Amino acid sequence: MNIKTICVHIALAALVFVGASCEKQFVESTNEGGDVVVDNKDDNGNKLPTLNVKFNVLGVESAQNGTASLKSKCKRLSFSVFDAGGERLNYRTITQLSSDNDFGKVSLAIPKGKYSFVFVAENGNAAPTISEPNTVTFKKNKLTDTYCYYGELDIKGKASHDITLKHCIAKLRVTLNDVTPQEIDTLSFYYIGGSSTLDPTTGYGKVSSRQTESHAVERLAYRGKSTYELYTFPHADARKLKLRITAKSGEQMLYTRAIDDIAVESDDVTDCSLNFFGENPEVGR
């Protein structure tokens, strides 16, 4: 993983965000830890013979390429199976937890045929929804560290496959170098240029998103600098982020700053460092 650093020295700015589409949530009932249910009936409702296909996610227990193990970074692994026409065969997104003994090991009973498989590992508070091979959404569009795999296979007999999940998220680490004033209780980060919906077939973001993260100010921020982490799925065209930071006391906005042209990449951390608070709440520094 690479880390880029941006040192920001800016005056007070106002930023208007336009042209970004909102995202439509695909809602389903997701039951963690359940067995995989695969549609193995033909058009007449007759059951088809199935073959056992196993997947072993590499790097679950031990580190690979100098990084920490997947199990230590992600608490949930979700997956779905799709037929050649893109229809999901299991009736819901299936999820394993890192505390499960079989975390990272998937066994399917599936009829012969061509299929696509999507795996997503993340660290959020709820399982993602894998509604289509190219569409993964996350509850309330909140993102965490995320890994994914997409593969197409022609199943002709029982087999076992080792797979490696790709680190597909970009992290923006924002550091406010000055002390947060005591009257500030919330910091809000509003950013465009990335996506909160993942396309596993490409490993990039699928839609243009308006993303917002709000953080309660922690006690240490009133005595020194503070750091906040934001996540997004970059687009294939490497478009840059626009970020607006707002500091509030209750519902009253006291400070705001805008930053343009922040470059982010998958499997990468961009450090953005700035002096944010001014002596006059209305004009900043």
Distance CA 206, CA 233 (A): 8
In angstroms, how far apart are the furthest CA atoms of the chain?
74
Q: Does 153 score more than 60 pLDDT?
A: yes
Looking at the chain, the whole-number percentage of residues with pLDDT higher than 90 is 71
Predicted confidence band of residue 89 (pLDDT cuts 50, 70, 90):
confident
Instruction: At 207, list the tokens.
Output: 């839609």
Check residue 34 and give its pLDDT.
39
* Residue ranges of E strands in 217-267: 226-232, 241-249, 252-262
Q: Does 188 score more than 90 pLDDT?
A: yes
Q: Does 1 score more than 90 pLDDT?
A: no
pLDDT digits (tens, 9 = 90+) for 110-130: 899 999 999 999 999 999 999
Q: Does 280 score more than 60 pLDDT?
A: no
Check residue 9 and give its pLDDT.
42
pLDDT digits (tens, 9 = 90+) for 51-64: 999 999 999 987 66
Conformation bin of residue 61: beta by default, left when phi > 0, alpha when psi is -120 to 50: alpha
Mean pLDDT of 182-194: 98
Closest CA to 70 of 51, 97, 52, 48: 97
Mean pLDDT of 158-171: 96
Domains of the chain: 2-22+170-274 (2.60.40), 51-167 (2.60.40.2580)
Q: What is the dihedral of CA 117, 123, 126, 129, to 10 degrees?
A: -20
Distance CA 245, CA 276 (A): 9
What ranges in the chain are assigned the alpha helix state H? 70-73
